[in-house]
Structures are given as C-alpha cells and as structure tokens.
Amino acid sequence: MLHPITANINETPQYDIAPFIMLSPDMSKVRQLTDDNTAEVQEFLSVRPVHTVVMSSFIVDNGIESDLNRGKFYGYRSAAGELEGVALIGHSTLVEARSDEALRALAVIARNSETPIHLIMSSGNDAERFHLQMTGGMAEPRLKCTEALFEVSFPFAVQKCEWNIENADMSQLEQVAEAQAEIAFIECGVDPMLKDREGFLKRVARRIEQGRVFTVYSDGKLIFKADIIAETTETIYLEGIYVHPDHRGAGLGSRCLAALTQQLLGRVENICLLSNVDFKRAHSSFEKAGYRRSDQCVTLFV
C-alpha cells in the first residue's frame, strides 16, 4: 500500500453524505495529465512532500504517462487555471486535493477507471469522501484501515545494531516475495502470490533491481526486511517491514530499522512509514527506532 496491520472488517465509516453527494463538480476543469505537465505537477506535490511522496516517486521513476503506474494521472484546475488537485487513479488510487470541488471531480473520473481500483489512500478522511462520491453512496469499501504516519529526521540518535543490513539480490527473490505476500495478506486479506504470482514477482524483482529492498539473513533465513516504496529528493517512504516470527519481540526489528534509517538519512531529509492505528506493538518498535507519530490517513480497500 507494507507493514503488519490488522483491519476491522465490520467497521463501517460514519459520515454525513447528504451535502457532499448533492453537489455536482465542474468536470470541464478535469484533464488527464501528460508528461508535458511534469514540472507543474511536481511543484504542486512538493508543497506537502511527505504526504505526496508516493505520487512524486511514481513520476520520478516512471513519468506521468507509464503503464508501470498501473493507472492514469488526472488534474483539476481552478478558474485561474492553477492545479487544485492531482490524483493517480488506478490500482492504487492516490489523491491530493486542496478543495472540495477538486476532490469531487476527481472522484467522478474514478467511476470509469480503466484499471480496477484496489485501494484508495489520502490524508485525513479524504479517502472516505472520495469513495463516497465515486460510488454515489451506493457501496461500502471492503476494508477500512486508519493508519498512523510515523516520521524521522535529523537529529537522529545512533543505535547499536549487531546485524549487517544489505541490499537484496535476485537470488533472494522468492523469500523476499513470500515475506511481502504475508504482510499483504495480513493487511488486506489478499495473497498476491496466489492472485497474481507472475505479476507480483515481477514487481518485487523490479524493486530489488532498483536497490530498494534491504534484508538481514541468518543461516540462510530471512529475518528482517524493509522496502523503499517511494523516494524523492526530500523523502523516503518505507513499507514491507518484516521480522521473522522466531525473532519478534526481541528488539531485532527496531535495531535493524534504526540502522537502516541512519543509512538512508544520508540521502534524504525525512523518512516516513504508515502503520494501522491498532497495531500497538509495531508502533512501539518504530518509536524505539527513533520515529515519531505525526499524522494519520485512511486507506480503503475496495
């Protein structure tokens, strides 16, 4: 989306839908974005670099127009022609809207997404409002996860770590993918190794080739893993933080995460990650590694 989380399947979002649904956005202000809009979109997203790191990283890695994004970028403009909202609409639908009108219009576009939408993520309760407009209030998300945002930056306390953290290589693909699939199943109830094994392995392999998967092995067994999902010049977003069951609760995860964080702070100013608000043990590990809780967002699985 990652990080081991639990989701309350029976949780139903509570919000007032009447005034939101009845307003019709001006769809003439929405356009699909192209590579020609790159500089403008990057400037728009840079206002909140932590919250928009995933979209920004997609653009840096793939460009605005790319099948690798598994969706399409759209922009909403004000009467003055300035961007008020940007969204990647597709498998992972990511939204940064700075007006209600922009959020509603982008949600209407999502009704006809060529790529099936798997999840919707935005800060605050924007994901819920987006889904509400997208579905006309006629459907509920399959799962709702409220996630805490954790951040770290300098000054950062150096911690002792007895483990050697290295970049994963392709010989580790199977173990890395299995660990990531376990996390995904805990997160959303879907095992990507069963649903789309070939496509999932291809995506994990690409991340390994990009040097964005970090591992610790002991006696040939993967005992710690963390992935860079998104990276810009300012921010790195980590996901897929995994500790082998035999080593959980012993402090290995926090020490390895702290050591990795120290390395990564040499190339960006800020590192962030998300964790389900109910996963208290994970929060304790993150805090021991030097992270602080700064905000929260909602992820909807549809």
* CATH number of domain containing 27: 3.40.630
Q: Last residue of a domain, which of 102, 136, 170?
A: 136
* CATH number of domain containing 250: 3.40.630.30
Domain count, the chain: 2
pLDDT tens digits for range 70-124: 999 999 999 999 999 999 999 999 999 999 999 999 999 999 999 999 999 998 8
Asked if residue 281 and residue 216 are part of one domain, the reply reads: yes
Nearest in space to 275 (alpha carbons), one of 119, 125, 149, 128: 149
Asked if residue 289 and residue 171 are part of one domain, the reply reads: yes
Q: What is the pLDDT of residue 279?
A: 86
**Cα torsion angle, 179, 184, 190, 195, sign:** negative
The region, left, alpha or beta by phi > 0 then psi within -120 to 50, assigned to residue 146 is beta
For residue 107, count CB atoms less than 10 angstroms from its CB and return exposed for 0-12, middle for 13-18, buried for 19 or more: buried
Asked if residue 192 and residue 116 are part of one domain, the reply reads: no
The region, left, alpha or beta by phi > 0 then psi within -120 to 50, assigned to residue 100 is alpha
Q: Last residue of a domain, which of 80, 112, 136?
A: 136
Q: Is the pTM of this model over 0.95?
A: no
The answer to whether the CB of 54 falls within 8 A of the CB of 230 is: yes
Asked if residue 156 and residue 283 are part of one domain, the reply reads: yes
Q: Answer yes or no: is 12 within a domain.
A: no
Asked if residue 108 and residue 158 are part of one domain, the reply reads: no
pLDDT tens digits for range 24-60: 899 999 999 999 999 999 999 999 999 999 999 999 9
Asked if residue 124 and residue 240 are part of one domain, the reply reads: no
By percentage, how much of the chain surpasses pLDDT 70? 92
Asked if residue 175 and residue 51 are part of one domain, the reply reads: no
Asked if residue 54 and residue 156 are part of one domain, the reply reads: no
On the CB side of 198, CA atoms within 13 Å amount to: 0
| Range scoring the smallest mean pLDDT among 3-17, 92-106, 230-244 | 3-17
Sorted by sequence, the CB contacts under 8 Å of residue 88 that are 6+ apart come out as: 55, 58, 69, 71, 72, 73, 94
The C-alpha torsion from 151 through 154 and 156 to 161, rounded to 10°, is: 80
Between CA 33 and CA 64, with CA 211 as vertex, the angle to 5 degrees is: 5
Q: Answer yes or no: is 1 within a domain.
A: no
Q: Answer yes or no: is 178 within a domain.
A: yes
Q: Answer yes or no: is 53 within a domain.
A: yes
CA distances from 219 to 122, 214, 216, 225 (A): 41, 17, 10, 15
Q: Answer yes or no: is 300 within a domain.
A: no
Asked if residue 274 and residue 195 are part of one domain, the reply reads: yes
> Chain-centre distance of CA 4, in angstroms?
13
Per the structure, the complete domain to which residue 279 belongs is given by: 151-295
Asked if residue 120 and residue 233 are part of one domain, the reply reads: no
Residue 5 pLDDT > 60, yes or no? no
Residue 52, token pair as written in the block? 């928009």
Over residues 209-228, the mean pLDDT reads: 97
Q: What is the pLDDT of residue 2?
A: 36
> Chain-centre distance of CA 231, in angstroms?
11
Q: Answer yes or no: is 44 within a domain.
A: yes
Length of the chain: 302
The one-letter amino acid code at 14 reads: Q
On the CB side of 144, CA atoms within 13 Å amount to: 19
Q: Last residue of a domain, which of 136, 161, 194?
A: 136
Q: What is the pLDDT of residue 14?
A: 44
Over residues 247-251, the mean pLDDT reads: 92
Q: Answer yes or no: is 288 within a domain.
A: yes
Asked if residue 79 and residue 200 are part of one domain, the reply reads: no
Cis omega (within 30 of 0) on the bond before 155? Answer: yes
Asked if residue 179 and residue 122 are part of one domain, the reply reads: no
Q: Answer yes or no: is 156 within a domain.
A: yes
Residue 239 pLDDT > 90, yes or no? yes
Residue 275, token pair as written in the block? 């964790």
